Each structure stands twice: as C-alpha cells, then as structure tokens.
C-alpha cells in the first residue's frame, strides 16, 4: 500500500507542477491548415537577426523576409534597383541623394515609417558609437562610411549627403544591412547597457516593415526553428501564406527527403549530388542559376600577426600547391574552377586571364612551391585552417574541401590543421585577423564589382571587416576606389583587369578556388516563390495552388 | 530503511562537490582567456578587463569557486554569451525535452527489453532465444545515426506516417505555448487537446525508439541471464510444485527476484539518457540537453557548458542514488537487514 502510494505520488508530480504553473487561462490554440504554412528546411543557421549586426548569408535570407530597404533589387537579372520604401529618388552628381518615402507604412511594432524613422535607422546602422548600436557593424564602414549627413527634410523626404561622389550608393541602400529598423525598437535597444544584448534584441523582437515578422518571443527557437507570421499591416498587401517556418537541418539527405515527401515546401542550397534527383522528381521544382559568388582561401598578409603567411613566398607556394580539380569532384558538375576575384557573371571579370601560379603542370607547380618555401627559409610549417562549421551556398562541404587543402599542402611540407568554426565566431576572427588561413567565400549582393573588391581586398582607409587576408595596399585601395566610380565601362573593365593582375601576381592575398551555381528547390504545388536578381528567395507571394 | 537512504545521501555529497569542482574548472580549461569564454570573441580588451573585475576573475581560484557555487545554489548559472539569456532559462527549456525523450526511450527499452529477456529465458537455446539474442546484438551494434536515417526514410519519407523530427509540428499550431516544458503533459493536461497530444506523441515515437535500441538490448540480455538463474532456483520448483500458475511463477516469483540487476541496468541507462542523447537529438532536431552542451562547445560558451556538465553529472549521481534506494523497496532482505 505504502509503495503504491509513493508511486502514485511520483506519477502525479507533473500534474501538480502543471497545476502550479497553469494559473493563467489556457491560451487559445488553433490548428493551422497545411495550406496556410510553408516550411523551409535550411542547411544554414540564423543566429543574429539584426540586419545591421550580421554579415552572414544565413541570417540575411531571414532578415529579408522581415525588413525592407529604401530600394530593392529587380525580380529578374541583371540587378536593377527599384522602389521599395522609397517611392522615388534623385541624386546630384551621385553625392546628394534625396528619397521620397512611401506613406502609410507601419513597422511590426506599430511605429510609423517616415523620414525621421529612416534617419534614425541609418544612424544606428552606420555608427558604432550610437547608443543603440550592436558590437559590430560589418557593412557600415565600406558601404556607408562616406555618409556626411543624414537629414529628414520633411516627414517623407530623406536626404543623404556623401563626402564624395559615389555612383554605387543606391546599390548600398538596397543591401540587407541598410534595412530600416523601427525607431521604437531602437529606443528600446538604447536602454540595454550591454552591446551583446543590443545585438540579440532584434532577433527576438523584429521590428521591420516587411511581409513577415516573428510574432512572439517563443517563435524564435534558437537557430534551429524560426516561426514567422504574416504581418497584417504590410504595405505591399498581406503575405499570401500566413505562416512560414524555417528549420535548420545540417543533413542534406534529410532535407532532400523532407522535400520529396512533402514534409517541407522549400529547401535552400540543396547539395549538388541531389540536384539530378530533385530535377527528375515531378513534385519538385529545382531552380538553379549562375550566381555571383566565389569560394576562396584567404591567406593572412598582416606581418603584425606573426603568421608565416605574411611572407609573399609562402602565399605563392600555397597558391602553386592548390589543385582545384580535386575539389570540383565534390560539386557534381555544379561548380567551376576559378582563378580571379570577380565571378564570370560580373562586369570586370577578366575572361581568359590566369595568375602565373595557376599555370603549368601540377608537378612543375609543386616544385616551384617547394623552392619558394626553401627560399623563404620555411621548410616545415604548421598552419591552422578555419572553415565554416555549416555549409554555405558556395561551399556545400566545408570539411571535405578543407581536407583536400590539407592533403595538397602536405605535399609541400605544410601541415594544415582544419578547424570548423561557427559563422558568428568566424566573422570576428576575420575582422581581427587572428587566423593564418580561412576557407570562406562571398556572395555578391549588388551586381557591382566593387561589392567584391572593397570588402574582400580593400577597405576604407584600412582593411574592411570582411577582408580575410587583412590585405592593405594604398595603391590598390586607390585603384579600387577609382574603378568603382569610373563611368566608362571599357575603362572600368581595364581597371579591374589590371587590379586582378597586380593583386594576384604581386601580393597573392587569397587563392580563388571556384564559383558555384546556386539552387533552391520547392514543391511544385506551391507557386509564387521567386528568386530575385541578387539570389534571395522571396516568399510573400508564395501560396498553394488551388 | 531511512538510515540506508540517509547514508546514501551523505555518500553522494562528496561526489557532488567533486562534480561542481570539475564543472567550475572547465572555465579555466577552455582555450584562451576565461573572460573571452564568458563574454565571447567579440569582447574588446576593455570589456574583458572590466568583466574580470566585476566577475571576480582576478580573485584566487578558491574564492572564485565559492562565488560560483553560491550562485549555482541560488539558481544563478550566469548568462550565455551566445544568446545573452540566463542559462537557467535555457536549461528550463532544454531539460524537459531531454527528460521526455529519455522517459519515452526507457518505456520502449523496458517493455520490449524485459519481455524479450523473459521470452529468451523461458525457452533457452530455442529459436526465440536466438532471435532475442540477435535482436540484442543488433541493438547494441547498430550505429544510431544510420538507424535514425533509416527509420526517418521509411516512416517519414516513404510511408509518411510519422514526422522527420522536432518535438511538435510547430508550423501546424498557432498559439501553442509550452507550460511545463513537457509537451506530452502540456497537451494532455493543459490544452486537453487530442490532436495536439497525438501530434506530440507522433514526434516522440521515432526518436524514442531509436534511442531505446541500446538500453533495450542491454536490458534484454540482463533479463535473460538473471531470469535463467532465477528459474533454476529451488523456490521456483517449490512454487510450481504448489500448483502456482505459470504466469505467476514467472512474473511474481522469478522476475521479482531477478529484478535487482534489471533495475540497476534500467536506472543506469536512464541516467545515461538523461545526460542528453547527442546523436539522437541531432538526427531528430530534438532541442535537448545534449545538443545544448554541444552547441556551447562549438562556440566556447562557458556558462552553458558549466551548467550542462554539472547537471548531467549530478543527474547521473542522482540516478545511482535512486537505484540504491530502490533496492530497499524491491529486496525484502535489505529491509530486514536495516530493521535488525
């Protein structure tokens, strides 16, 4: 009897606990019909949903469902900038930009969108000293560092004056990093003393003007699951499907199975080996495109960090030893070997040019690499190689590519220690230059060559936060700046060709490896999904076919 | 019996102190500066300097330990630098998920494992015995990640009768807010919603089954061997001679006497499962304690790591303690020894 009573008491414990917890009334529970939900399975994670604080593509895809910018990319390539929160704009010699803002737009938190709100958002997103700023603003310096003045001329006119003429400024205003954040949210962030807390604030309380929002705190379940709800007050008309759920799943086979079985409606960046299978599945639409991306090996050039890669001979030796063909086997025909900075789809891509380290037979190149190392007095070398812990659109299998590099460099006596690193940590390591080698990549967001040159191999007066090699050369930086504002296309192309030659022959701060086609796959019973000209999938028009 | 329990409780104290010491020292074992491990890689030198002073990282190690322990006793595990949220709040979300999964797995493991073990013991060297042993061998040796993918492909991908993973079809419910953190309990007692309950149970089914394979195999083998031993005893022959029903002989006379090693196996395995089943949680996107610790390791987030290790190790001690205590309930000889 006694034992029975003890067991009963133990069994009833959760019920007693529940009674204690459940003082409030039961929240209304509603079963959502399948037609009202789109589930997305992603290999990438979303960790910082603050448009100003992140530079991760994994975050950007989600941010772009919730936030708007003044201008937006065209639905179809080539990239053109079209009205969004700004209905129209004009410029005076690309120096003073005046935006006529859209009226009747509301933020998710109920605040009104107007020129003062846009001004406050730009201030927060471009100035690290702003009281509401997160600890890092990865895009601020190179894209908005030339802003001299931001003025709310009247309720719906915003004027931005630059220090010098900059024709690509409009493209910068279309970057997700220029998303407009509610002034009410910014005021709340100002009260947070800790910069880290300010960075995480928007992740749990999104405050944009976009078609979707995270309705309550519990809907952001870490990086694993994010539930978005259609924003009733969206200026473009309420999204066609009321809920979108983003799930993270590292395993590409599981993502594929989920899509083919209909458990999810969209997967982004399907693994290349799955493309064939997906394209043959009648229930699935596979959309692929030649993307503006680049996968490369960044070699730290900064002598102050004390890495052997700061010696030109070591960097050249590494470039000689890299064999891209081996890596391409991992991409099942969806990637091409790449030898320069700009991808083939961009203006300024030097078709046919190959740096001298990338020519000749492998045996010859290995011999040259060994000779270079010997000449530099570096015959036995150990180097850390950091790479993203999760797959990227241009790097589906980071550990495998890193391992190929390890094997290839072993042939010239360099011992490589690959280290998978979470994206949020990798960004900081890159900006501080605390790793000798980083396997990483870049996805273009504006269609401008400068969107590759300035962040990756230049900066504003110093290497930009995304400049993995921490490469800085005054002449190169000046030429990058000059090419960005050159309006004569043929002159501009010649300038970029010269830059490619100078950088790869004279400095070798990175070894470009490949460019990869990108893809998104979705269930054919869903229509209205589109991938815009910058490669971002947009979901607000997505709905199930009748 | 109470003296026995008190002795066991006292014996657990030094163990818990040792665990707390190891958990505390983890902070100093992480590569790099402890201030960086607590604040994250983003912290500036100035942030770190200020933090060292505020958090007492400049104090002697024993004083730091006492500070930390007193915080833990008050439920203050510090904040995660990755999420900027109190670790206690995050644990409150993760631990119920792990307990729910462990309970589900142990139910499968115990019911199937004990039944198979009894069956094998009743018909030794028969085809039944062979099947049970083969089943146990497969259970122990089959890699979880492979089995996980296989059952996902079969039940979720091909047959479409069970979900791929997660605790609930989040997409399918508007307004669901966890109350106790135990979704099964929330669905049955709080929301009192049959559809929701079935949804939660369907999500629990596959991960529990996959997680149950190893303990199931161990329990089956131990049940078989102890039952074989028990069935040879004189009191079984006596019970049969007295005309006891076969079921009563097996379940009441033999199984009860064979139960101590089985209970030990069950509780030990349950302790392991409560420590977080990293692989199962990863395969089925189950947001439990095991994944929490792994995520903390990935980003060198010291406070969640310390709290996770402390909790997992303490759970193990607690489970062993409960095992010892349960002996007194099951074995009358122990109670009598205590009484005398």
CB under 8 Å to B2, separation ≥6 — which residues? Answer: none
Q: Which residue of A has its CA nearest to B153?
A: A257
Q: What is the pLDDT of residue B34?
A: 63
Average pLDDT over residues A518-526: 95
**Range from A91-105, A475-489, B80-94, B199-213 carrying the lowest mean pLDDT:** B80-94
Judge if B294 and B323 occupy the same domain.
no
For chains A and B, count residue pairs whose Cβ atoms are closer than 8 Å: 123
Helices A474-485 + A450-457 axis angle, to 10 = 160
Residue of A35, A53, A254 to mutate for B, most B C-beta atoms under 10 A: A254
Judge if B231 and B126 occupy the same domain.
yes
Residue of A20, A256, A261 to mutate for B, most B C-beta atoms under 10 A: A261
At A526, the pLDDT band (50, 70, 90 cuts) reads: very high
* Cross-chain CB nearest to A428 (options B42, B173, B193): B42
What are B61-92's pLDDT values in tens digits?
Answer: 888 888 888 888 888 888 887 777 889 999 99
Relative to beta strand A157-162, strand A212-213 is unpaired
Determine, for residues B299 and A425 on separate chains, whether the beta-carbon distance falls below 8 Å: yes
Residue of B32, B84, B192, B207 to mutate for A, most A C-beta atoms under 10 A: B84
Determine, for residues B153 and A218 on separate chains, whether the beta-carbon distance falls below 8 Å: no
At A389, the pLDDT band (50, 70, 90 cuts) reads: confident
What are A162-172's pLDDT values in tens digits?
Answer: 999 888 899 99
Judge if B194 and B149 occupy the same domain.
yes
Judge if B280 and B306 occupy the same domain.
no
Judge if B272 and B339 occupy the same domain.
no
Q: What is the pLDDT of residue A17?
A: 53
What are B5-27's pLDDT values in tens digits?
Answer: 788 888 888 888 888 888 888 77
**Rounded to an integer, what distance in angstroms lies between the CA atom of residue A256 and that of residue A267?**
8
pLDDT: is A231 or B122 the higher one? A231
Per the CB < 8 A criterion, the answer to whether B83 and A200 are in contact is yes
Question: Is the predicted pLDDT of residue A355 greater than 70, yes or no?
Answer: yes
Q: Which residue of B has its CA nearest to A424?
A: B299
Judge if B154 and B257 occupy the same domain.
yes
B residues 89..148 contacting A (CB < 8 A): none
Q: What is the pLDDT of residue B36?
A: 62
Average pLDDT over residues A252-270: 93
At A65, the pLDDT band (50, 70, 90 cuts) reads: very high
CATH of A7-258+521-544, one of 3.50.30.50, 3.40.190.10, 3.30.565.10, 3.30.70.260: 3.40.190.10
Judge if B294 and B305 occupy the same domain.
no
Please report, for the domain that includes residue B230, its CATH number.
1.10.3720.10
At A521, the pLDDT band (50, 70, 90 cuts) reads: very high
- DSSP lists the bridge partners of residue B79 as B86
**Rounded to an integer, what distance in angstroms lies between the CA atom of residue B216 and that of residue B207?**
14
**B84 chain-A contacts, CB cut-off 8 A:** 194, 196-197, 199-200
Question: ipTM surpassing 0.90, yes or no?
Answer: no
**Rounded to an integer, what distance in angstroms lies between the CA atom of residue B329 and that of residue A536?**
63
> Domain count of chain B?
2
**B186 chain-A contacts, CB cut-off 8 A:** 18
Question: Is the predicted pLDDT of residue A4 greater than 50, yes or no?
Answer: no
Q: Which residue of A has its CA nearest to B330?
A: A3
Superfamily of segment(s) A293-516: Dipeptide-binding Protein; Domain 3 (3.10.105.10)
Per the CB < 8 A criterion, the answer to whether A356 and A316 are in contact is no
Average pLDDT over residues A187-216: 90
Calculate how close chain A gets to B166, using CA atoms only, in Å: 9
Q: Is B50 near chain A, with CB under 8 Å?
A: no
Q: Is residue B94 part of a domain?
A: no
Determine, for residues B170 and A225 on separate chains, whether the beta-carbon distance falls below 8 Å: yes
Determine, for residues A245 and B173 on separate chains, whether the beta-carbon distance falls below 8 Å: no
Judge if B256 and B185 occupy the same domain.
yes
Determine, for residues A135 and B171 on separate chains, whether the beta-carbon distance falls below 8 Å: no
- DSSP class of residue B152 equals I
* Cross-chain CB nearest to A200 (options B84, B152, B191): B84
Determine, for residues A136 and B285 on separate chains, whether the beta-carbon distance falls below 8 Å: no
Judge if B113 and B210 occupy the same domain.
yes
In terms of Cα–Cα distance, which of A143, A210, A113, A102 is closest to A536? A210
Question: Is the predicted pLDDT of residue A245 greater than 60, yes or no?
Answer: yes
| Burial state string for A248-257 with b = 16 or more CB within 10 A and e = fewer than 16 | bbbbbebbbb
As a whole-number percent, the residues of chain A with pLDDT over 70 amount to 95
Calculate how close chain A gets to B125, using CA atoms only, in Å: 37
Per the CB < 8 A criterion, the answer to whether A444 and A472 are in contact is no
Question: Is the predicted pLDDT of residue A360 greater than 70, yes or no?
Answer: yes
Q: CB A149: neighbour CB atoms within 10 A?
A: 10
Question: Is the predicted pLDDT of residue A212 greater than 90, yes or no?
Answer: yes
Q: Is residue B12 part of a domain?
A: yes
Q: Is B83 near chain A, with CB under 8 Å?
A: yes
Calculate how close chain B gets to A440, using CA atoms only, in Å: 18
Q: Which domain holds residue B154?
A: 100-298
**Rounded to an integer, what distance in angstroms lies between the CA atom of residue A318 and that of residue A370?**
10
**A31 chain-B contacts, CB cut-off 8 A:** 172-174, 195
Report the SS3 class of residue A40. strand
Domain ranges of chain A: 7-258+521-544, 293-516
As a whole-number percent, the residues of chain A with pLDDT over 90 amount to 68
What are B119-154's pLDDT values in tens digits?
Answer: 999 888 888 889 888 888 888 888 888 899 999 999
Determine, for residues B158 and A425 on separate chains, whether the beta-carbon distance falls below 8 Å: no
Q: Is B178 near chain A, with CB under 8 Å?
A: yes
Q: What is the pLDDT of residue A2?
A: 47
Q: What is the pLDDT of residue B44?
A: 58
Mean of the per-residue pLDDT values of chain A? 90
Q: Is residue B225 part of a domain?
A: yes
Per the CB < 8 A criterion, the answer to whether B273 and B102 are in contact is yes
Q: What is the pLDDT of residue B295?
A: 81
Judge if B116 and B227 occupy the same domain.
yes
Judge if B180 and B235 occupy the same domain.
yes
At A346, the pLDDT band (50, 70, 90 cuts) reads: confident
Judge if B188 and B150 occupy the same domain.
yes
Question: Is the predicted pLDDT of residue A531 greater than 70, yes or no?
Answer: yes
What are A439-472's pLDDT values in tens digits?
Answer: 999 988 888 899 999 999 999 889 998 999 999 9
**Rounded to an integer, what distance in angstroms lies between the CA atom of residue B69 and that of residue A250?**
36
**B172 chain-A contacts, CB cut-off 8 A:** 31-32, 34, 37
Residues of chain B with pLDDT under 50: 41-42
In terms of Cα–Cα distance, which of A268, A397, A259 is closest to B164? A259
Q: What is the pLDDT of residue A20?
A: 47
Residue A465: CA count within 13 A, CB half-sphere: 19
Report in angstroms the alpha-carbon separations of B237 from A324, B123, B230, B244. Answer: 76, 17, 10, 10
């Amino acid at each position: 009897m006694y034992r029975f009573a003890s067991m009963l008491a133990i069994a009833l414990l959760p019920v007693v606990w529940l009674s204690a917890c459940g003082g409030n009334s039961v929240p209304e529970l509603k079963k959502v019909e399948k037609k009202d939900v789109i589930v997305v399975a992603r290999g990438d994670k979303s960790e910082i949903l603050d448009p100003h604080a992140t530079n991760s593509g994994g975050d950007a895809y989600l941010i772009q469902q919730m936030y708007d910018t003044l201008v937006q990319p065209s639905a179809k390539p080539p990239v053109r900038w079209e009205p969004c929160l700004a209905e129209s704009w004009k410029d005076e010699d690309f120096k003073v930009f005046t935006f006529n803002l859209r009226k009747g737009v509301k933020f998710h938190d109920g605040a009104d969108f107007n020129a003062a709100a846009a001004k406050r958002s730009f201030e927060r997103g471009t100035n690290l000293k702003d009281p509401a700023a997160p600890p890092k603003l990865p895009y601020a310096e190179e894209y908005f560092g030339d802003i001299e003045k931001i003025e709310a001329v009247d309720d719906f006119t915003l004027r931005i004056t630059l220090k010098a003429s900059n024709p690509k400024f409009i493209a910068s205003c279309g970057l997700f990093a220029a998303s407009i954040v509610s002034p009410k949210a910014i005021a709340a962030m100002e009260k947070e003393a800790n910069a880290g807390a300010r960075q995480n604030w928007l992740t749990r309380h999104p405050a944009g003007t976009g078609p979707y929002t995270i309705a309550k705190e519990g809907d952001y379940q870490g990086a694993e699951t994010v539930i978005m709800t259609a924003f009733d007050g969206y200026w473009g008309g309420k999204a066609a499907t009321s809920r979108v759920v983003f799930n993270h799943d590292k395993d590409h086979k599981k993502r594929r199975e989920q899509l083919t079985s209909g458990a999810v409606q969209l997967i982004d960046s399907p693994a290349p080996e799955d493309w064939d299978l997906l394209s043959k599945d009648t229930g699935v639409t596979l959309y692929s495109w030649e993307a503006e991306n680049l996968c490369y090996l960044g070699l730290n050039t900064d002598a102050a960090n004390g890495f052997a890669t700061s010696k030109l001979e070591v960097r050249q030796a590494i470039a000689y030893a890299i064999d891209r063909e081996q890596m391409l086997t991992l991409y099942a025909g969806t990637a091409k070997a790449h030898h320069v900075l700009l991808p083939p789809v961009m203006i300024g891509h030097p078709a046919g040019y190959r740096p001298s380290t990338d020519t000749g037979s492998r045996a010859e190149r290995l011999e040259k690499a060994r000779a270079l190392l010997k000449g530099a007095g570096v015959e036995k070398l150990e180097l850390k190689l950091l790479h993203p812990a999760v797959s990227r659109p241009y790097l589906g299998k980071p550990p495998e590519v890193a391992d190929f590099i390890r094997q290839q460099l072993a042939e010239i006596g360099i011992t490589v220690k690959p280290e998978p690193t979470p994206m949020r940590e990798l960004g900081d390591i890159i900006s501080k230059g605390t790793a000798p080698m980083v396997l990483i990549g870049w996805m273009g967001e504006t269609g401008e060559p400068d969107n590759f040159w300035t962040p990756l191999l230049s900066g504003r007066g110093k290497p930009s936060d995304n400049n993995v090699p921490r490469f800085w050369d005054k002449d190169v930086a000046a030429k990058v700046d000059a090419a960005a504002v050159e309006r004569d296309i043929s002159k501009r192309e010649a300038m970029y060709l010269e830059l490619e030659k100078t950088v790869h022959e004279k400095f070798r701060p990175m070894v470009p490896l490949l460019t990869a086609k990108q893809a998104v796959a979705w269930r054919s019973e869903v229509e209205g999904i589109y991938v815009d000209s910058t490669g971002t999938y947009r979901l607000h028009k997505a709905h199930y076919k009748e | 019996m109470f003296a026995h329990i008190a002795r066991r409780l006292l014996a657990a104290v030094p163990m818990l102190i040792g665990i707390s010491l190891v958990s505390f020292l983890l902070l100093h074992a992480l590569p790099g500066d402890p201030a960086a491990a607590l604040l994250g890689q983003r912290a500036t030198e100035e942030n770190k300097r200020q933090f060292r002073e505020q958090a007492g990282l400049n104090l002697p190690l024993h004083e730091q330990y006492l500070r930390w322990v007193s915080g833990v006793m008050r439920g203050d595990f510090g904040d995660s630098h990755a999420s900027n949220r109190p670790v206690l709040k995050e644990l409150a979300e993760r631990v119920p998920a792990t307990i729910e999964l462990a309970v589900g797995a142990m139910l499968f493991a115990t019911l199937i494992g004990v039944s198979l073990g009894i069956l094998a013991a009743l018909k030794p060297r028969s085809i039944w015995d062979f099947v049970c042993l083969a089943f146990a061998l497969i259970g122990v040796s089959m890699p979880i990640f492979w089995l996980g993918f296989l059952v996902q492909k079969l039940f979720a991908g091909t047959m479409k009768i069970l979900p791929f993973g997660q605790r609930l079809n989040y997409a399918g419910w508007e307004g669901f807010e966890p109350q106790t953190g135990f979704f099964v309990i929330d669905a049955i007692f709080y929301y009192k919603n049959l559809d929701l309950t079935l949804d939660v149970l369907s999500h629990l089914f596959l991960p529990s089954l996959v997680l149950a394979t190893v303990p199931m195999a161990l329990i089956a083998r131990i049940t078989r061997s102890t039952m074989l031993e028990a069935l040879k005893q004189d009191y079984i022959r006596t019970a049969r001679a007295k005309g006891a029903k076969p079921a009563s002989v097996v379940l009441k006379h033999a199984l009860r006497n064979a139960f101590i090693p089985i209970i030990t196996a069950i509780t030990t395995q349950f302790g392991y499962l409560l420590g977080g089943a990293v692989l199962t949680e990863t395969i089925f996107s189950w947001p439990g304690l095991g994944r929490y610790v792994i995520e903390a390791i990935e980003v060198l987030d010291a406070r969640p790591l310390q709290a996770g290790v402390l909790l997992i190790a303490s759970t193990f001690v607690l489970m062993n303690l409960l095992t010892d205590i349960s002996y007194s309930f099951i074995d009358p000889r122990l109670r009598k020894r205590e009484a005398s």
